[in-house]
Amino acid sequence: MLQPLSDQDSGYGEISDPPASLWRLVEDLVPVRERAEVRRILGEAAVDLSLDLHAEIEVLLELCREIRSSSPSTLQRPPSSCSILADPPVIKEMVTQEIRMLLLSVRSKARRQGL
């Protein structure tokens, strides 16, 4: 399930565990004989992309854990007058743009492959 954000290190909140995958939830709740139909309705590509993204999130979180455990002194909170991170709205807009680019790329690839 989704973990609450804590107020660690950066002050912007950290996620220590990956959010739950929607498809994993489907696997837990939907009988095996009905999963193929649910997957078809959701879209094979969407389910595969979701699973790939969750796998990437898990890898990134593991890298963050390794960095924290190997060099805790470099991750201390900066003074309140100095922020090393961009404002959250800027980050949100950057992520939104990256998602749009990814979706356009997926759509383009699907059209080229006749999907």
Query: What's residue 56's pLDDT?
Result: 87
Of the pLDDT bands very low, low, confident and very high (cuts 50, 70, 90), residue 42 is confident
Tell me the Cα Rg of the chain.
Answer: 18
Predicted confidence (pLDDT) at residue 103 exceeds the cutoff of 60: yes
Which structure tokens are listed for 29?
């709740």
Q: How far apart are CA 15 and CA 56, in angstroms?
A: 14
Query: What's residue 7's pLDDT?
Result: 39
Q: How far apart are CA 61 and CA 14, in angstroms?
A: 10
Q: For residue 57, which of 21, 32, 33 has the smallest C-alpha distance?
A: 21
Q: What is the pLDDT of residues 78-95, one digit of tens each?
A: 555 555 556 677 777 777
DSSP secondary structure string, 7-65?
--TTTT-B-SSPPPPHHHHHHHHS-HHHHHHHHHHH-HHHHHHHHHHHHHHHHHHHHHH
